[in-house]
Chains A and B, each alone.
Chain A
Amino acid sequence: MNNQLSPIWTHLTSEGRNTGTWRSALPNYQNQPSPCHGACPVHGSIAAWIKQVKDKDYHGAWLTLVENNPFPAIAGRICHHPCETACNRGELDETVGICSLERFVGDMALENGWVFPDPEVERTQKVAVIGGGPAGLSAAYQLRRHGFQVTLLEVSGGLGGLMRHGIPAYRLARDVLEGEVSRITAMGIDVRLGVEVADKEALARLHGEYDAVFLATGASLPKRLPGLDYDQNFVMDSAEFLAASPKAQITATGAHVLVIGGGSAALDVARSARRLGREVTVMSLEAEGHLPAQAVELTEAAEEGIRFVSGAMMVSASQHEEKVTVQAQMVDFQPGNGPGKFTAEPIKDSTFALTVNTIIPAIGQDADLDRWSGLLSAEGPVLDTTPGNWQTNHKGIYAGGDVASMSRFVTHAVGMGKEAAHAIAATLATDLPAPPPSQQAEVAYARINTAYHPRHSRNLQELAATDARLKTFDEVQQPLGPDAALSEAARCFSCGTCIFCDNCFFYCPDMAITRLGGAYEVKLDYCKGCGLCVAECPTGSIHMQEEAR
């Protein structure tokens, strides 16, 4: 019997037809850096850990965070967050509250007592870290993760650097600082408090005893205001004031405090003094709207009743009994080329006087380079280092943080500490090659299909009420609650990070995409190269790549 189908009947599926030959471009799955990642001073994997928050994998999110930064709870409070400025979502509605999410995860880690994983191997090489601020702690942490034997030398009685001696508790609660610092030292770091590495000879000796040295002594010398006699009892430098206990701060100040400067340090002084019940005026060369302090700081300071005299210069100060008369003049302030450069032209017939009790100048800090001179060379106001690995002119001595850079922020210091640690690791251990700098382009806003991201305004952190704020040094910024944090995480586009939503799979008219579980594969026999999968990707994780045939 003839069982064969007659060839006049349809008896085949279309799958024998190779429509892949039609194509001139092929979709290529590739995770790419997000703009927030590029702008972040520690180059955190922001899209990745926010995705873990979306999935409620908070411990995973924390582990991803601490690969690059051991201080998520601290950074989540005081980072100047350039990541948010770069965030793609700003083009749709408002940028993602990356910082508040980082704090959310960081706080959860502290509450739950999460600890760092032990180093995978113990290594014999020894590294000395000088200075226990964010740069030094970050380097010590990364080196210890790699299994090196780390000794941390700190001149003061506690770790944290300016996070302890500068930033006030109402912006960074001390138990948070304590918690994130002690978690690092618990990794088995030999911490020596009250030890000063005083000069280049001491540094050279250390270099002889250790396989490498990381120098992170910060910028400890206050800039001096010309025309002000610092020996007068009504003058107190800002660094000294901020490092003092509230009790000492009270003794040192009169009823009306004049703070000179317009940056974050000036505002920290002003707001601290306000919390001691002082009347406070802040005088800055910069005109209103141009103060270098962050906008939130200025708003919060104004709410707290601080008076601003902006665009003015102190000319002289003289004391009669308890009162200090300050002569001042309005100026035309113009920023110059580079940090710290400016001109301030006095405006005619604009002199005025103020009566105060105490003057606290807060006009910046310089690095103390003299003590290393002859051993380490300088590049302008900071130590000379090789970009990317932070090695000084002296082989085996590395430097980072405020002593080596004018990017004077905590997370910049953390980033430099990390990069230097990786560079040191790579020279000491052949199995730890330095990670190559990323050459990949960042995902542009145009690559995000915003149809999948409904508009939603940012979930804001609440602030403590103004009158309550003035009575204590308790934190002003309140944490995001769990629901608000999840809602905020959901706002992230996950730029360049595949979220396995399967949009690409479901949108292919040719069934040319296979799900492999954690990956996708394009069937070369069928993909016609239309690019619909790419167009419907909500994260910009696929792109079309031309095919030469």
Chain B
Amino acid sequence: MKDTSYKDEGQFCSGHVACAGCAEALSMRVILNAVGEDAVGVVVPSCVAIILGGHPTSSARIPFIHGVLESAAAMASGVKQALVAQGKEDTTVLCLAGDGGTYDIGLQALSSAAERNEDILYICFDNEGYMNTGGQKSSSTPRAAATGSTPHGKTTRKKNLIEILAAHRIPYIATASTSHLPDLAAKVEKAKTIRGMKVIIVVIPCLPGWGVADNAVAKVSRLAVESGVFPLIEVEDGLKYTMNVDEKTQPIGPYLDQQKRYRHLSNEDREGLQLDVDESWNRLVEMADR
């Protein structure tokens, strides 16, 4: 049977305020435990900041600095430099942000840090929208998905952040999903061993934002991977693409059916989305073959 185990040494604490059944909390459990004790965290406004905080308490055992939405990567760069100045080169700087803070508002800071190849581990919790503020669209929202600000569905495609980051030729980019917990843990472990800029994008089906059932986040992320909507990949040095799951085993339909944000779609819309997926997938396959 498929294995789901990963190391848990209590780095993430119960009593946090994530929604019941939240995939972001589940991912944090895996990530914080893989990162371990020798780490300093940086976090910007987003669901993850709320899950971590609730003054004067924290759900993480490592210290976190809460900063502004525009500057996650810039803050993390500064923290790393300060640690280096103290002789703590090996301490991991873990930078957590949402897709709004990554694809949109924090993109400039991220691009600059990537260009400088800062030694930070940047995690983007990609729930495809501004979710803790009530569910508005971001540039990560996929085409056709309904959000508070695109009630009839977004008309443009999801921004391809992986290719943007790859263009910076940073040492490590990866995607991950709560349907593959040991894979997520292994990617964090691997990133820890690499000096320079590492970015891991985790797909986070948002319970209220996507309209999925309380018990269904693993199922939805699994369908996202199996349908090729959210492929599991690694990109090394911006050039070497590896597909961790190299087969699409599902059409897009079952994935869409699990989510209220797609329930207004016509069959034509659904077919269009399938074409988007196929096109992106084929492009990845080509890059992985190169």
Contacts and interface: CB of A to CB of B under 8 A. Distances in A.
B181 interface: yes
Contact of A451 (B2, B26, B57): B2
Given A14-B58, A501-B1, A512 B14 contact: yes
B120 to A, nearest CB: 22
Chain B interface residue number, banded: 35 or more
A532 B218 contact: yes
A539 to B, nearest CB: 10
A23 B20 contact: yes
A13 B59 contact: yes
Interface in B8-24: 8, 10, 12-18, 20-23
A195 interface: no
Given A452-B2, A510-B16, A534 B56 contact: no
B284 interface: no
A535 B216 contact: yes
A13 B181 CA distance: 25
Contacts of A526: 14-15
A164 interface: no
Contacts, number: 118
Contacts of A452: 1-2
A506 interface: yes
A23 B61 CA distance: 25
B80 interface: no
B213 to A, nearest CB: 8
- Which label, helix, strand, loop or mixed, suits the secondary structure of the A interface? loop
A17 interface: yes
A534 B215 contact: yes
A538 interface: yes
B14 A532 contact: no
A32 interface: no
A510 B20 CA distance: 8
Interface in B178-217: 179, 181, 214-217
B159 interface: no
A11 B16 contact: no
A25 to B, nearest CB: 10
Interface string A493-523: 0000001011100111111100000000001
Contact of B56 (A11, A490, A506): A11
- Which label, helix, strand, loop or mixed, suits the secondary structure of the B interface? loop
A35 to B, nearest CB: 20
B177 to A, nearest CB: 12
A10 interface: yes
A528 interface: yes
A536 B54 contact: no
A322 to B, nearest CB: 64
A510 B13 CA distance: 8
B15 A18 contact: yes
Nearest to A530: B21
Interface string A441-469: 00000000001111000000000000000
B270 interface: no
B54 A17 contact: yes
A130 B8 CA distance: 61
B25 interface: yes
B222 interface: yes
Interface string A1-24: 000000111111111111100110
B4 interface: yes
A523 B13 CA distance: 13
A10 B58 contact: yes
A404 to B, nearest CB: 43
A182 to B, nearest CB: 39
B219 interface: yes
A378 to B, nearest CB: 52
B290 interface: no
Given A10-B55, A10-B57, A532-B21, A454 B29 contact: no
B180 to A, nearest CB: 11
A529 interface: yes
Contacts of B5: 502, 506
Nearest to B1: A452
Interface in B205-237: 214-219, 222
A531 interface: yes
B56 A12 contact: yes
Contact of B13 (A15, A499, A529, A532): A15
A530 B13 contact: no
Nearest to B30: A506
Contacts of B181: 506-507
Contacts of A490: 1
B14 A510 contact: yes
Contacts of B55: 10
Contacts of B57: 10, 12-14, 16-17
Task: Tell me which of A490, A508, A528, A529 has the highest count of chain B C-beta atoms within 10 A of its own C-beta.
Answer: A528
B21 A13 contact: no
Given A451-B222, A528-B20, A532-B215, A14 B25 contact: no
Nearest to A490: B1
B40 to A, nearest CB: 14
Contacts of A11: 56
Nearest to B54: A14
Given A23-B20, A509-B25, 16 more contacts: A13-B58, A13-B59, A13-B61, A15-B13, A17-B57, A451-B2, A454-B2, A502-B4, A503-B4, A510-B16, A511-B12, A511-B14, A511-B29, A512-B14, A530-B22, A536-B218
4 closest A-B pairs by beta carbon, nearest first, are A530-B21, A531-B215, A528-B20, A14-B15
5 contacts: A12-B56, A14-B13, A16-B57, A510-B18, A530-B20
